[in-house]
Structure 1
Amino acid sequence: MTFSHTYGSAAKALALCRQREEEAAERIAQRRKDQLDSLPADVDPLVAQVTLDHQVSGTMMRARTLAGARYGDSLNEAREIPLARWPLDTLGYRKGYMPDGTKNAGRLSPNRHPQRDFFVADILDAAPKDDLASMEHPLFALKAGDRRVRRYERKGTIVEVKPGVDGCATIHDKDVWIYCISQLMVARDSGREDVGRTVRFTAYDFLATTNRSTDGRGYERMANALRRLSGTRIETNIATNGRRERAGFGLLDAWRVIERDHDERMVAVEVTLPDWLWRSIQAKQVLTLSRGYFRLRKPLDRRIYELARKHCGAKQPKWRVKLATLHEKSGSVSAEREFRRLVKALADSNELPEYRMTLDAKSDSVTFYARAPKGARAQIADLLGETKKSVRG
């Protein structure tokens, strides 16, 4: 048997394996869709979503037959219906490694969920999106438990943040905004008519989408985030959708739990976004974020990514900013010396999604380069320019 014949047979076998994997994935997706489509019209969609979410998460559960769960029934009432065992779908990753085979770096949390008249947020795998105004200006605290009244002024823009009884909303709490914006933008683009600033979603889907743990602590932290978002008050003159006004608003107008399971965890949640944010969504004043954003552990790392994404977009290969300006825009309360150390640590780690960072001690500035080829070309050009200057000097 010749080498070419052996190689050709192996290639065919590999192609066949890949084809079988794709067919299996399609069957699983179709089966999940068929399960939802086959339910009676009066089945509560939230009960259905929660049950299937538990199935997909790989948690073995004894779920009640959904065909008996009528709209408006609580989960406790649904449990009185005969049991049905759902199949288990588990995902096994090597300890200390990410699904793509790379080691779990210290600055990044593990990717826990790689597969994966109100508006029901039921869109799977929506791309993360953030509003431009809060990306540019520091509305969210970078330190948990921050109870200071913060005032930010820059080029005529004024932002005053007043904490509630539970403290200021943090940049990790902002995940609720990002999740809702992502769902609403996809729904608007697809022509759905039920889009509005009151959003209803399952707690499990939020936790999985934002790469949070789905144990009891995850649900408790989500409840605390909702309290801080509702309690934090903002006064600003930032314009959204062409409308500028000096107004005060909460980061959430309202929130409530729709259902609870037997452990008293939140199952479904309804939130009402402030009109200020809703105008940004209506005007499509949003940007798509990297999914790696939700893996950034440190609040400052998240804030710096937001600023880099805002200023180094699709058409810009790089963004250079003075360290003092970056410090001001970030909203960090650290001293300048400590802020410089933190920025250098992030640059040295090379773990900022979509961007490479360099810190120039001479000019006391930071440059962000897009990881795309255009960013690499810009970085090479800058290095060549510095080399020429040093040779001339």
Structure 2
Amino acid sequence: MAHRSLLPDRHRQLDFFVCDIIDTAPKDDLGSMEHPLFTLAKNPDTRIRLYEHNGNTVKIVPSVLGLATIFDKDILIYCVSQLTEAINRKRDVSRTVRLTAYDFLVATNRDTGGRSYQLLEQAFQRLTGTKIFTNIVVGGRRFREGFGLIESYRIIEKSPNHARMVAVEVTLSEWLFQAVCSQEVLTLHRDYFRLGKGLERRLYELARKHCGSQPQWKVGLALLHKKSGSSSSLKEFRRMARNICEADHLPGYLLSFDEPSDSVLFQCRSERAQARAAIRQFLDL
């Protein structure tokens, strides 16, 4: 009598996915690009925040260590980038990923000295401690749930003198993992990691999200203030927005402040360059 073979394992779960793809393009999930889940401040922020817009509600609750910052988000961007590239290459992926600390620091344009490894561990602590309560749609389904920005992390190796971590296993939230599997991500410019101010990074995210299918996006300052998640007053936010417009170093986008309407215009730099070329050609006729 022939022995029956085992049925196929249709839902095989890997122990972890190894972040080992070199030179991946940075990827960000649409949900956190649209909604202000991270504090822009570098100092500890322990305020509970509530964001409501177009039927979406997000409540962000910090741990005693404070809210996860937009710079802590680099960890999620790195994981999302690796997972997205692996999916594109038809590789198996898992919600738990293993990353090499040094590779992460290099990929996100950070210093690789000993202090950076200490700061990295603090970022993991804030990401784990910050809780999100939301009804945002992900993968075509509306979730009403609470979760950590990452479910857990584990430092699995240290250097011989225990001065720095070498590798880390991170379990992403189901919410973020579903966004990746549903391809709800956008590619970021590599110079995103060179932006040193939290508001610059947040405005770049909003520009990338809203100028993806149109050459420009004009938004009132009050709404931009709300969408940015900035804790500053509207008057102070207006001053900071003007300074960013004048500095003009957001990768891929040109920002201009419109005084009469108290609004900010975001334009794709390529579109702006094409417009200038057309004007020059017209004047040369």
For normalisation by structure 1, the TM-score amounts to 0.65
Name the residue aligned to 2:33: 135
- Counterpart of 2:121 (choices 218, 223, 237) is 223
2:183 matches 1:301: no
Distance 1:317 1:376, change over 3 A: farther
Percent of pairs with identical residues: 56
2:17, 2:276 → 1: CA distance? 44
User: What letter is aligned with 2:57?
Assistant: I
SS at match of 1:267: strand
Deviations 1:2-26 (A, max 9, x none): xxxxxxxxxxxxxxxxxxxxxxxxx
| Residue in structure 1 matched with residue 4 of structure 2 by the alignment | none
Q: 2:282 corresponds to which residue?
A: none
Unaligned 5+ segments in structure 1 are: 1-116, 383-393
Q: How does 1:286-365 map to 2 (within 5 A)?
A: 286-313=185-212, 315-365=213-263
Q: How far did 1:234 drift?
A: 0.4
1:160 paired residue among 59, 62, 65 = 59
Shift of 1:369: 1.1
Q: Which amino acid aligns with 2:147?
A: F
Instruction: Give the CA RMSD over aligned residues.
Output: 1.4
In structure 2, what is the equivalent of residue 9 of structure 1? none
Higher fraction of strand: 2
Report what 1:124 is aligned to.
22
Equivalent in the alignment of 1:76: none
Aligned to 2:172: 273
Where does 1:34-53 land on structure 2 (aligned, <5 Å)?
A: none
Match of 2:6 in 1: none
Mapped partners of 1:377, 1:158: distance in 2: 39
Query: Where do residues 15-34 of structure 1 align in structure 2 (5 Å cutoff)?
Result: none
Residue identity opposite 1:157 in structure 2: N
Secondary structure, aligned partner of 1:207: helix
Do the aligned residues in 2 keep the contact of 1:319 with 1:367 (CA within 8 Å)? yes
Q: Could you tell me whether the CA contact under 8 Å between 1:256 and 1:270 is conserved in 2?
A: yes
Question: In structure 1, the residue corresponding to 2:58 is in which secondary structure?
Answer: strand
Larger radius of gyration: 1
Give the counterpart of 2:106 among 195, 208, 212: 208
CA separation in 2, counterparts of 1:379 and 1:242?
40
Question: Stretches of 4+ moved more than 2 A in 1?
Answer: 374-382
* Alpha-carbon separation, structure 1, partners of 2:278 and 2:255: 15
CA distance in 2, matches of 1:238, 1:167: 23
Aligned to 1:171, the other structure's residue is in SS state coil
Q: Which amino acid aligns with 2:224?
A: L
Q: Structure 2 regions of 5+ residues with no counterpart?
A: 1-14, 280-285
Q: After superposition, give the CA deviation of every residue in 1:51-110 in whole Å (9 maximum; x if it has no partner).
A: xxxxxxxxxxxxxxxxxxxxxxxxxxxxxxxxxxxxxxxxxxxxxxxxxxxxxxxxxxxx
- Bigger proportion of residues as helix: 1
Q: CA deviation at 1:376?
A: 3.3
The equivalent of 1:51 in structure 2 is none
Code of the aligned partner of 1:371: R
Q: Which of 353, 368, 372 is the aligned partner of 2:266?
A: 368
C-alpha change, 1:173 and 1:367, in structure 2 (3 Å) is: same
Say which SS state the counterpart of residue 253 (structure 1) adopts.
Answer: strand
For 1:354, the aligned partner's letter is: G
The 1-side partners of 2:141 and 2:234 are apart by 35
Cα distance, 1:262 vs structure 2 = 2.1
Alignment coverage as a number of residue pairs? 263
